[in-house]
Amino acid sequence: MHHEPVLLDLNAIVQQPGAKGSFNYSLRLPPEEEPTCEGPVEIALQIQNTGHALLVRGNLRAYVRASCARCLEETVIEVNGEIEEQFSLPGQKDENLELIDQVEPREAAFADQILNVSELARQRILLLLPLRVLCKPDCKGLCPSCGQNLNTKNCGCPMPAAHPVWEALRGLKDDRKE
């Protein structure tokens, strides 16, 4: 099933300084692209023409499939956060304007008065994803000897001895409690 991108024509807002609009979408991202989302992405946007740029603010929520950094099992995590972007308007040259949208035109979320809401959402979700995804905060990970997922069963392998440096630090921590 092909997922068409959600495109928002902003020509009316672009033409009129001070113009604004609010938009809400429930959209699906293409499954072949990162990130892989479970269900729709909910996105709410407020867009304003400041006279120099288009200010795009809002928030999104998505459920993303990712691999746990410890046990490598696939898990679904909730990703939500704010969106704040500004895109230059045609013919505007403002030296003080810090342009966030510096990506290649092929990947740009805004071009020719059209905002690609799907691409904006995709880029934002990738930025909001945690660096280390865990299936649960206390995930036990994999056995370093046999690779058994320690969340499902204990393999009984002897645990490797900790490095002496860490043992020395553990001693320091214990001393401080007394």
What is the pLDDT, as a whole number, of residue 107? 53
Q: How far is CA 11 from CA 20, 21, 132, 147, in A?
A: 11, 12, 40, 56
Residue 92 pLDDT exceeds 80: no
Instruction: Give per-residue pLDDT as tens, 27-38.
Output: 999 888 889 999
Name the band, by pLDDT with cuts 50, 70 and 90, for residue 108. Answer: confident
Q: What is the pLDDT of residue 102?
A: 45
Query: Which of 15-38 are b and which e, b meaning 16 or more Cβ less than 10 Å from the residue's Cβ?
Result: eeeeeeeebebebebeeeeebebe
Q: What is the pLDDT of residue 176?
A: 58
Every domain of the chain and the residues it spans: 7-128, 141-178
- Mean pLDDT, the chain, whole residue set: 84
For 37-48, the pLDDT digits (tens) are 999 999 999 999
pTM of the model as a whole: 0.75
- pLDDT of 177 > 80? The answer is no
Q: Beta-strand (E) ranges in the chain? A: 7-9, 20-27, 36-37, 41-49, 53-67, 74-88, 110-111, 114-116
Concatenating the DSSP letter of every residue in 73-109 gives: -EEEEEEEEEEEEEEEPTT---TT------S-GGG-S
